[in-house]
Structures are given as C-alpha cells and as structure tokens.
C-alpha cells in the first residue's frame, strides 16, 4: 500500500509533540550544529548533504556543519569529543556502542522524546540499535545487514541455475566456477583486522548455530558454531576460493573487486546493490543479483548480522533541542523514502510502498528475510575490547599463524578477564 498524506502528517505531528521543542522563535538567532557521520556504506555523503540542505532551508536559523570520517574513526571521535568545548551535537553510532556510551554517560537519554506512536511504526529490530537497559539513546537511522551478492552471468557460464541457499552450496559453486576458469577467486569478503571481519564472522556464526557468549556472559565462540565459522573462513582461503586479499579488505574494497568482475560472490551491506548495478560504478551492472546470506542445513534458513546504526545527541551538547529537531528530520519517513536506494527505511509502512520497491524489488525481498534474521553482536560495555581481541585471533587463523581452535581458545581466555 502507499502511504497517505494523512498518515505522514499524523506521524510528523506526534514526533514534534514528543520532542518538547521550545518553539520556532528560539531558533531565530543563528545556531550551528556540529554533526558527525560515516564516510562509507549506507547513505552517501551527497545524500546526507541533500537531506541537510532541505533541513536548513526549512529552518533558516540553523546551520549544520557536517564531518565525515571512516567507520574505524567514528567511535574514537565520539569518545574524544566528550571533553572538548566544541564537541558534536549529533553523532552517528553503531548498534554495538550504546552499552559503553551509557556506562560512561556519553549520549543523552532521549526516552521521553519518543512516544508509542513513533515506536509502533518503526521496525522492531531497528529499536535495538539505540536501546540499552530499557532506555533510548537516539533514533534508529540505518537499518542494515549483510547479504549475498552474486554475478548471475558467471553462475550461468558455470552451469549453475540458482544461487546457493547454504554455505556448503556456496563453497561447492565457488569451486565449480574456479575449476572452469571463470574467475580465479570466486569469493571476496571484508576481513581486515577491524569490525568488518567481526560482522562477516558473526554472519557465519549465526548460520552455524553458534553464540558469542554463554548464558553467564562468558565466551562461547571458541566452540560449536563459532569454531565452525572460522574453520569455514580459513578453509575457503586454503582451497583458493576466497581472494586472499580479503584479509586486508574493507567493504568498499569488496564492492570494487566484485564490481570490476573479479569475483562471483560477495558478502556486503545493502548499499552495494544499487551501486554494483550502476553502469557508471560497475563493470558487471545488469548481472548483479542479491539474496539473503545462506543458512546451514538443519540449523538455519538464512543468516544475518545486525549492522544497524542510530543518531544520538552527545550529553555535552549545548544545542540538544535543535539537535533533536535535526535528527527528527533525517529519520522521518518522507526523507528516508526519498533516499532509499543506498539504505532502506526504518519505517514499517515503507516496505509496502511501490515507489520504494521500484527497481529494487529483489533487494526488498531479500531484506524481509535478512532483517528478520539479524543476529546481534554482544551487548556489553567492554565490547570494543572484546572485538579487538577477537579480530586479532581471526586474523592469526586466516594467516595460518594459528589453527582456528588455538586462536579462538586464546581469545576466549583473554576475553574472560574483561568486565
């Protein structure tokens, strides 16, 4: 169904009512907002600049100074700005950070600004992005998971008629493609020693029935599905199925490699779908297909990691009311639907809007499965330390410095000592 003007007006009105803003007269004097965003994946810088330009035109007393940094710099920028006199008013934050940020008081609790009407119209999984211990520390903005991208032309050349639905089938198809000489390394991943590799590892771990932590919050990734996931990764390199450069690749490296025709399969975020099908950006446009990341027979139908992100207000911001007004604009349904090609909306009704589906029907079909299967990374204040330890362990295994079992056992021993 399409969304009527009456619904949009109602939601907009309830959002404004819930924000407790102090009235447009308060914005008569020029106010500058400092906003921090990510310079990769999801919305492009141009998208965010256009969203912001519309906001400034509608609010002539407000100017937004935007800063874009790589994902790897985002966390530390937020932390270090807490003690700065000219810190940020709006920040983009990852789903894995609210526990830490809440513990150290880095983000404002905005629970009283979010009413039940707003909650009901947004995807339930999206709220996990900004919630910790029963409180909300922002608004969800980017709802995302990883998908399997494949080059249909290469599969057809190899005599393969359909995409794999299990990770075992994926390896089998990759071997056929390699053996036929269609491409040297059929698989490409983002396995650099960063959060990127944790996301791919989490996707596999979830498919194989693994857990990061046990019921007592102790390490569990070193056994069962967690161990099987890393063994799968290592074996794919040993067999020559995965491009060995994946050990150094970020998501953008994956996109460029796949888009240049050097891979038959890739695991990546939503934003790659339309870019890989854009002739200006991709040599394989028109041959790119997407499906949910595979599952494992008798364990899972599909796999996915929660890679969503939210917009929050640092606790030391001097412009919290204005910042909330800006966040409301960026996360509003009309704005998200206008920019739904690189990042899908957080609003439930958007997925029934034909205008959103047009030209990306396959993406929305995959999203309905993937977003419902999103597996969370651990929610704990020491997650950054845990992730760093696990990144090193995975890298050691991928480089064959240690066996998967040795690497994960050592990581588990270290992580057991973290709070």
% of the chain at pLDDT higher than 70? 93
pLDDT tens per residue across span 113-130: 999 889 999 998 899 999
pLDDT at site 380: 86
The secondary structure of the chain, three-state, reads CCCCHHHHHHHHHHHHHHHCCCCHHHHCCCEEEEEEEECCCCCCHHHHHHHHHHHHHHCCCEEEEEEEECHHHHHHHHHHHCCCCCCCCEEEEECCCHHHHHHCCCECCCHHHCCHHHHHHECHHHHCCCEECCEECCEEEECCCEEEEEEHHHHHHCCCCCCCCEHHHHHHHHHHHHHCCCCCCCEECCCCCCHHHHHHHHHHHHHCCCCCECCCCCECCCCHHHHHHHHHHHHHHHCCCECHHHHHCCHHHHHHHHHCCCCCEEEEECCHHHHHCCCCCCCCCCCEEEEEECEECCCECCEEECCCEEEECECCCCCHHHHHHHHHHHHCHHHHHHCCCCCCCCEHHHHHCHHHHCCCHHHHHHHHHHHHHEECCCCCCCHHHHHHHHHHHHHHHHCCCCCHHHHHHHHHHHHCCCC
**Dist CA 332 CA 346 (whole Å):** 9
| pLDDT of 233 higher than 90 | yes
% of the chain at pLDDT higher than 90? 85
- Please give the C-alpha separations between residue 247 and each of 180, 238, 251, 400, in angstroms, as whole numbers: 25, 13, 12, 12
pLDDT at site 83: 83
Question: Is 12:363 a contact under the CB 8 Å cutoff?
Answer: no
Q: Which CATH class is domain 146-305+382-415?
A: alpha beta
∠ Cα 211 213 215 (to 5°): 105
pLDDT level of residue 419 (50, 70, 90 thresholds) = low
Question: Is 192:278 a contact under the CB 8 Å cutoff?
Answer: no
**Dist CA 234 CA 398 (whole Å):** 5
User: Comparing 16-25, 153-162, 381-390, which segment has the lowest mean pLDDT?
Assistant: 16-25
pTM summary value = 0.86
pLDDT level of residue 95 (50, 70, 90 thresholds) = very high
Query: Residue 311: how many CB atoms within 10 A of its CB?
Result: 27
Most confident of 28-32, 148-152, 374-378: 148-152
416 CB-near residues (< 8 Å, 6+ apart):
218, 219
Q: Which residues pair with 187 in a beta bridge?
A: 242, 265
pLDDT at site 42: 85
- Please give the C-alpha separations between residue 141 and each of 134, 344, 345, in angstroms, as whole numbers: 19, 9, 8
pLDDT tens per residue across span 172-229: 999 999 999 999 999 999 999 999 999 999 999 999 999 999 999 999 999 999 999 9
pLDDT tens per residue across span 350-372: 998 999 988 899 999 999 999 99
Taking alpha carbons only, the member of 295, 147, 307, 267 closest to residue 210 is 295
Question: Is 385:220 a contact under the CB 8 Å cutoff?
Answer: no
pLDDT tens per residue across span 17-48: 444 444 444 444 689 999 999 987 789 999 99
Question: Is 20:53 a contact under the CB 8 Å cutoff?
Answer: no
209 backbone dihedrals φ, ψ, rounded to 5°: 75, 20
392 CB-near residues (< 8 Å, 6+ apart):
193, 411
Average pLDDT (269-278) is: 95
pLDDT at site 13: 43
| pLDDT of 81 higher than 70 | yes
347 backbone φψ class: left, alpha, beta (φ>0; ψ -120 to 50): beta
186 backbone φψ class: left, alpha, beta (φ>0; ψ -120 to 50): alpha
Average pLDDT, the chain: 92
Integer-rounded Cα radius of gyration of the chain: 22
Question: Is 65:323 a contact under the CB 8 Å cutoff?
Answer: no
Please report, for the chain, the start and end positions of each structural domain, with discontinuous segments joined by +.
5-144+307-363, 146-305+382-415
202 CB-near residues (< 8 Å, 6+ apart):
212, 305, 375, 377
* 5-144+307-363 and 146-305+382-415, same CATH topology: yes
According to DSSP, the β-strands at 265-269 and 146-151 are antiparallel
Average pLDDT (255-267) is: 98
**Dist CA 393 CA 230 (whole Å):** 10
5-144+307-363 — its CATH code?
3.40.190.10
**Dist CA 252 CA 255 (whole Å):** 5
pLDDT at site 14: 43
């Amino acid at each position: 169904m399409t969304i009527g003007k009456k619904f949009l007006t109602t939601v907009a009105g309830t959002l404004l009512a819930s924000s407790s803003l102090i009235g447009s007269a308060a914005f008569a004097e020029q106010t500058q907002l400092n906003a921090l965003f990510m310079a990769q994946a999801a919305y492009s810088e141009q998208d965010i600049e256009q969203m912001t330009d519309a906001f400034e035109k509608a609010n002539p007393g407000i100017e937004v100074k935007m800063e874009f940094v790589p994902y790897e710099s985002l966390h530390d920028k937020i932390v270090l700005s807490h003690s700065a006199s000219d810190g940020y008013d709006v920040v983009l934050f990852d789903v894995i950070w609210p526990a830490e940020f809440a513990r150290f008081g880095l983000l404002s609790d905005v629970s009283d600004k979010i009413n039940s009407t707003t909650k009901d119209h947004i995807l339930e999984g999206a709220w996990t992005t900004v919630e910790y211990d029963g409180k909300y520390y922002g608004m969800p903005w980017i709802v995302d998971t990883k998908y399997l991208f494949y080059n249909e032309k290469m599969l057809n050349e190899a005599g393969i008629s359909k995409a794999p639905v299990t990770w075992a089938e994926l390896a089998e198809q990759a071997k056929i493609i390699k053996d036929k000489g269609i491409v040297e390394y059929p698989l490409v991943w983002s396995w650099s020693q960063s959060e990127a590799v944790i996301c791919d590892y989490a996707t596999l771990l979830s498919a194989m029935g693994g857990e990061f932590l046990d019921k007592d919050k102790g390490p569990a990734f070193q056994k069962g599905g967690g161990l099987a996931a890393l063994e799968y990764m290592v074996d794919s390199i040993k067999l020559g199925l995965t491009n060995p450069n994946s050990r150094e690749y970020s998501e953008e490296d994956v996109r460029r490699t796949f888009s240049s025709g050097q891979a038959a399969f890739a695991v990546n975020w939503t934003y790659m779908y339309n870019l890989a099908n854009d002739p200006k950006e991709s040599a394989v446009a028109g041959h790119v297909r997407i499906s949910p990341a595979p599952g494992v027979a008798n364990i899972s139908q599909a796999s996915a990691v929660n890679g969503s992100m939210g917009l929050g207000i640092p606790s030391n911001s001097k412009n919290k009311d204005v910042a909330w007004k800006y966040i409301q604009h960026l996360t509003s349904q009309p704005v998200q639907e206008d920019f739904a090609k690189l990042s899908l909306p957080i609003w439930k009704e958007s997925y029934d809007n034909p205008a959103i589906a047009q030209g990306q029907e396959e993406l929305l079909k995959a999203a309905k499965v993937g977003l419902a299967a999103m597996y969370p990374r651990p929610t704990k204040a020491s997650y950054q330390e845990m992730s760093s330890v696990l990144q090193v362990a995975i890298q050691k295994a991928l480089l064959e410095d240690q066996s998967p079992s040795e690497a994960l056992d050592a990581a588990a021993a270290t992580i057991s000592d973290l709070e």
